[in-house]
Amino acid sequence: MYQIITFYKFTPLSDLADRRERLRAVMRENSIKGTIILAEEGFNSTVCGTVKNIRQFLLAAETILSCRIEYKSSKHSNAPFRRIDVKIKREIVTLKQAVDLSLGEGTYVEPEDWNTVISDPETFLLDTRNEYEVMNGSFARAENPRTRKFSELPAYVSEHLDPTKHKTIAMFCTGGIRCEKFAPYLRSKGFENVLQLKGGILRYLEVVDPSESLWNGECFVFDDRVTVNEKLEKGSQPDFSVPETS
């Protein structure tokens, strides 16, 4: 049985090349497969390994990344990743917009309180994921912006949303990282009451009882499982994604 963990953090990082090599070495030593993205703004990752090896990897990774790692976890009988990949990029999630992350303070909604927030008919519910992800499942009443990539979302907002009309916007994504950038982005554009699901869909499915869940369908994940169901087990939905063309 393999444990799959996803984790990210917006935190200033330097010496990226050195950290990359040290992370690669730790992944090899502990038979960890998956992807870690490093940037000056932080890190973003999904990896897999045995429970014991994941534990050892996390201890070493926290030292290399100079911070405590909070992660979301699921399990699968097969390893959903086949190789070790540590990349250095300009952003850990690509928005192509300058964002003051401090504007995101006070926007988080715990999974246990999410149902109340999105049941308010005055709340505009925004799915910040891409079209192929939304096709596998979403929350009832959620707006699908029909984007192909995250960096297209600002254009959608410019064309379809208005701070004077959309007084409360609640947003969600797979694990929380996209919303951590987009909530402060919306605030910078004049949207005052902006809310984001803390920990994303994966945390919601982990915490909220299925009998009370407002989630419909399955959740797309970026590995060989394609989707996970409400029990965070491998789903049955097809892969609607297509390779991006230049």
Instruction: Identify the CA nearest to 19 among candidates 35, 4, 33, 39.
Output: 39
State the pairing for strand pair 33-39/108-109. unpaired
What does each C-alpha distance from 212 to 18, 85, 196, 207 come to in angstroms? Answer: 46, 38, 19, 11
Structure tokens at 64: 């290399």
The region, left, alpha or beta by phi > 0 then psi within -120 to 50, assigned to residue 217 is left
173 counts as catalytic: yes
Do the Cβ atoms of 218 and 174 come closer than 8 Å? no
- Rounded CA-CA distance 14/20 in Å is 11
Residues facing 84 on adjacent strands:
34
How would DSSP label each residue in 149-202?
Answer: SGGGHHHHHHHH--TTT--EEEEE-SSSHHHHHHHHHHHHTT--EEEEETTHHH
Catalytic residue among 48, 173, 179, 219: 173
Q: What is the Cα–Cα distance from 107 to 109, expressed in whole angstroms?
A: 7
Please list the active-site residues.
173
